[in-house]
Amino acid sequence: MFWQKELETLNRSRLEALQLKRLRETAARVYGKVPYYRKLFKNNGVTPAHLKALQDISKLPFTTRDDLQKNYPDKLLTIKHHDTMRLHTSSGTTGKPKAVFFTRQDIDVAANNIARCLTMTGVTKKDVLQNMMSYGLFTGGLMMHYGAEKVGALVIPSAIGNTERQLMLMEDFGTTSIHLTPSYALYLSDVLEKKGREFRKKLKLKRAYMGAEPYTEETKNKIEKLLQVKVYNSYGLTEMNGPGVAFECEFQAGMHLWEDSYIMEIVDPKTGKQLPDGESGELILTTLTREGMPIIRYRTRDLTAILPGKCKCGRTHRRITRIKGRADDMFILRGVNIYPQQIERVLMSVAHVEKNYQIYLDANDKMTVKVEITKKLFDGDLDKLKKLQLDLTERLRAEILIRPNIELVEPGTLPVSEGKAKRVFDNRKIY
Ligand code: DLL
C-alpha cells in the first residue's frame, strides 16, 4: 500500500531532478540566512551557484554534532524564532544538547514521511497504534504520534514503561501495532510470556516498529517469536526529524530512505570521501525540505551501506542496510544516547578518583563503571568508599539518566593504554 504512490515511485531521473532543485534552494537558504553556514561555505571556497549537478554536493562542507552544539540554542535558524512551532533535542550529548526547531510545515513533512512508512507496512485508519516511546524532547513519541494520526489510525500515547498497563490497553483497545525500542520490546516480551498463551490469544497485535537503538537480526527474530508479530526496522535521528527517515517496507530487504526529503551519501569516516553504493561507510544526510533549520551534509556517525538494485515493492527511493555500528564511541543504552566523555566529566569532577575508568555493558542492559580510586583513599577507611560509590552513582544518574553499578578498583589495576584508550566494552552483541 502507498501513501503517496506518485512520489514514492517517481522514476530516478525525476527524483534526482527534484533533489537538485531542492538542494539548490536549501543551500541558497542557509547561505543567505545563517552566518555560520556562509562562513563554512566560504572556507570551502564554494557558493550555492557551484551546485550545477547533484554530485556537486561533495563540494559543500560537512555539518557535525560539534557545529550544532556550537550554535546552540538557535543560531542555525533560517527564520524568526516566533515562526517556529516545536523544539526537540537529542539526548546524551556532552554539555549542551543538539536543539532542533520545527515550523508547522516541517512537522507536516516529517509526519507525512512517517505516514508513508506506516502505510507501506499495512497500517490504515482501521488500525490502533500504541506508541510506547517517551513523549517529550525525544522525537520517538510526538513525531510518530503525528505520523500515525495523519494516517488516521487511533493512536494510544501510552509512552514507555508501566508494562502491565500497556498490556491492559492492548487488550482493551485492540492494539494492532506498537512502536518501541528493542530493549523495551525484550522486556515487554518477558512480561507477556509470564501472562501465558491465553492472554496473547486475546490480543490483536500484528506489527512492531522497532528503532531508536541498534539491534541485530537475531534480536529481531527473537522478538518476532516472543511477541508473535512482524518487526519492522525504523531508523531516524533528532537532527533529521526523528523517526521516519528510513523504514522497511513489506518486503523487509533494507530500509527505504525518503530521498525527496534527504540526500544521502556514504563516505569513508576517516577521509570523508564518497563511497559507491554497496560499500559500507558513514551515512551523511542533507535535508531537502526543512524550512526552519535545514542541515547540510550532516555526519550521522552511523555506519551503513546503500543497497544496490531495485526493491520489489516498486518504490524508487534507495534502501540502506541495518545500522552496522558507529564511527564514534557513542552507545545507546535503554534508549538513551551516551558518550563516554559524559561519564568521564562526572568522574573527573569528584575527588579521590583517578583518571582511568572503563564502562561495561552487559546482555541485560546493565552498565558497570569501573573506577580507579586514588592511593590516598585506598589507605583510608571503607565507609568513605561506600559514600563515594553512592555519590558517583547519583551524579552519573543525574547526567545520563541511568543508574550504573559503580565498581571501585585499586589504583593501577586498569590497563593504561597506549594511544586511544578503549573505554567501552559492549557485551550486548547488538551489531
Ligand atoms: O532515536 C529517533 C528515532 C525514534 C528513530 C524512534 C527511530 C524510532 P536520537 O535519539 O537522536 O533519535 O538517536 C539517533 O539512534 O544516530 C542511531 O545511532 C540510533 N538509531 C536510531 N534508529 C536506529 C535503528 C532517534 N533502527 C541515533 N537502528 C541514530 C540502529 C538506530 N540505530
**Interval between CA 301 and ligand 1 midpoint (Å):** 11
pLDDT number for residue 383: 79
Of the three residues 293, 327, 361, the one that is the final residue of a domain is 327
Task: Give the ligand 1 atom nearest the CA of 138.
Answer: 10
**Residue 322: helix, strand or coil by DSSP?**
coil
CA–CA dist 82, 91 (Å, integer): 24
Whole-angstrom CA distances from 289 to 139, 258, 261 are 18, 11, 6
**Is ligand 1 within 6 A of the CB of residue 211?**
yes
Quick check: helix, strand or coil at residue 232?
strand
Same domain, 106 and 212: yes
Residues 46 and 187 in one domain: yes
- End position of a domain, from candidates 312, 327, 342: 327
Q: Is the pLDDT of residue 112 over 80?
A: yes
What is the per-residue pLDDT for 421?
Answer: 75
337 and 183 in contact (C-beta within 8 Å)? no
Cell of 41: 561555505
The pLDDT confidence band at residue 418, using thresholds 50, 70 and 90, is low
Judgement on whether residues 315 and 346 belong to the same structural domain of the protein: no
**Which atom of ligand 1 has the smallest separation from the CA of 238?**
11
- CA-CA distance, 87 to 99, in Å (whole number)? 7
State which of 327, 347, 367 marks the end of a domain.
327
Structural domain that includes position 365: 330-426
Q: Which of 6-10, 244-248, 331-335 has the lowest mean pLDDT?
A: 331-335
Q: Say whether both 377 and 243 belong to one domain.
A: no
pLDDT band at 417 (very low <50, low <70, confident <90, very high): low
Q: How many helices (H) and strands (E) does the chain have?
A: 13, 21
Q: pLDDT per residue over 273-324, tens digit each?
A: 999 999 999 999 999 999 999 999 999 999 999 999 999 999 999 999 999 9
119 shares its domain with 248: yes
Domain for residue 431, yes or no?
no
Mean pLDDT value across residues 47-60: 98
Assess whether the C-beta atom of 358 lies below 6 angstroms from ligand 1: no
Residue type, 323: I
Q: How far is the CA of 116 from the centre of ligand 1 (A)?
A: 18
Asked if pLDDT for residue 348 goes beyond 60, the answer is yes
Looking at the structure, tell me whether residues 101 and 15 fall in a common domain. Answer: yes
The answer on 225 and 368 residing in a single domain is no
Q: What is the DSSP letter of 374?
A: P
Does 404 share its domain with 285? Answer: no
User: Do the bridges between strand 262-267 and strand 255-257 make them parallel or antiparallel, or are there none, so unpaired?
Assistant: unpaired
Q: Tell whether 294 is covered by a domain.
A: yes
CB 127 less than 6 A from any atom of ligand 1 = no
* Model-wide pTM > 0.85: yes
**Same domain for 415 and 306:** no
397 backbone dihedrals φ, ψ, rounded to 5°: -60, -40
45 and 80 housed in the same domain: yes
Residue 235: helix, strand or coil by DSSP? Answer: strand
Domain at 344, CATH number = 3.30.300.30
- The answer to whether residues 259 and 407 belong to one domain is no
The residue whose CA has the least distance to atom 9 of ligand 1 is: 237
Most informative mutation of 302, 303, 324 for ligand 1 (most atoms within 8 A of CB): 302
Rounded to an integer, the average pLDDT of 157-167 is 96
Amino acid (one-letter) located at 403: R
Q: Which atom of ligand 1 is nearest to the CA of 246?
A: 26
